Amino acid sequence: MKLDDCKRLLSKNSVCIFLLHGVVKGSDYVFRNFNRKHILESEFNFFIESLCELGTPVSTDNLIEFSNGRRVPDGAFVITFDDGFENNLSVAAPILKKHNVPATFYLTTNFISNNLMSWVDRIDWAIEESAKRPTLEVDVPWHTKPLVLQSEISRLSFLNEIRNVVKHDMSINQHELADSIQEQLGFENTKSNHSELDAKLTWEGVRCLADCELFTIGGHTHNHPIMSFLSEAQLNFEIHHCLELLRAKVGIQTTHFAYPEGLSHCYNNQVISCLKEHRIKCCPTAEHGVNDFSIERDLFKLKRVFVE
């Protein structure tokens, strides 16, 4: 949802949980960040300022209290960040602190340990790096012949198509697809990068965030798979290992988690049970909407609003 429209969502008895990924000082790319996964620092500052004028910032811990009957303040909103980008600490955190706004950072622990890019960032990166080439030819498993990408529009629609197809098809291995596209475009496999759109928090950075009273750290699996696509053993590993690393590296036992991708098919009762077994109490989705706490809320099905 566009930044300006987000403010209209604040209302009585409901909580609007905003989903962000990153905040950057500049964004000068042809293809990368086309979906505004990272918004500008100035926009974020204005966004937070406007929300504070209209509503009341609350934390994800407050959500647990609201579900237990505590009164929800008018215009309650929550700020959440997924994946663990370094710019959350260097660019977003100072603005949140300036306005005294709590936030929760859901971290994919292997991204943190090895500064890894997500599969989709690896594909966006390869298309950006090839921006000056007049023609790109890419073979993907769901098309019978290679796609010929010439115009900017065709490349952007390819990036949208990849997201739509891959997030719904458990037979496609996301990492192999990213490897294959990088190779087809003539790149060595690139899985790590230090650009503002790619750099992840270090463990020291996570400790810096965790040290601030305003901020909460939550889990977001170890490798960012779609949790409903996993076997029971894989699911258990992704939750357990993520929470174990947060405990070992940062000393926190979090009760917060967020489902990777978070669409309605990305979690199910088995996923929710496994999270509960690991003492998770609150796990928002990425399905669009605000949460009316005047009727009972399931803290494992909370909706969020993607800020772009």
Q: How far is the CB of 83 from Zn ion (least distance, A)?
A: 4
Q: Which is nearer to Zn ion, 83 or 128 (CB)?
A: 83
Q: Which is nearer to Zn ion, 118 or 291 (CB)?
A: 118
Q: Which is nearer to Zn ion, 82 or 196 (CB)?
A: 82
Q: How far is the CB of 30 from Zn ion (least distance, A)?
A: 24
Q: How far is the CB of 82 from Zn ion (least distance, A)?
A: 4
Q: How far is the CB of 34 from Zn ion (least distance, A)?
A: 17
Contact residues for Zn ion, defined by CB under 5 A: 82-83, 260
| CA 218 – CA 145 distance, rounded (Å) | 42
C-alpha distances in Å from residue 50, one per residue of 3, 10, 59, 60, 77:
10, 11, 18, 20, 12
Q: Do 50 and 35 meet the contact criterion of CB atoms below 8 Å apart?
A: no
Q: How far is the CB of 224 from Zn ion (least distance, A)?
A: 6
Beta bridge partner(s), residue 116: 192
Buried b (16+ CB within 10 A) or exposed e, 279-299: ebbbbbbbbeebbebeeebeb
Q: Which is nearer to Zn ion, 215 or 257 (CB)?
A: 257
Q: Which is nearer to Zn ion, 55 or 284 (CB)?
A: 284
Output phi, psi for 25, to 5 deg: -75, -30
Name which of 183, 194, 175 is nearest 114 in CA terms. 194
Q: Which is nearer to Zn ion, 126 or 266 (CB)?
A: 266
| CA 113 – CA 154 distance, rounded (Å) | 35
Name which of 277, 280, 244 is nearest 259 in CA terms. 280
Q: How far is the CB of 262 from Zn ion (least distance, A)?
A: 7
User: Residue 48's Cα: distance from chain center in Å?
Assistant: 18
Q: How far is the CB of 260 from Zn ion (least distance, A)?
A: 5
Give 226-231's long-range contacts (Cβ < 8 A, gap of 24+). Answer: 226/167, 226/170, 226/260, 226/261, 226/266, 227/259, 227/260, 227/266, 227/267, 227/271, 228/265, 228/266, 228/267, 228/268, 228/270, 228/271, 229/170
Q: How far is the CB of 209 from Zn ion (least distance, A)?
A: 17
Q: Which is nearer to Zn ion, 259 or 293 (CB)?
A: 259
Q: Which is nearer to Zn ion, 41 or 83 (CB)?
A: 83
| CA 9 – CA 3 distance, rounded (Å) | 11
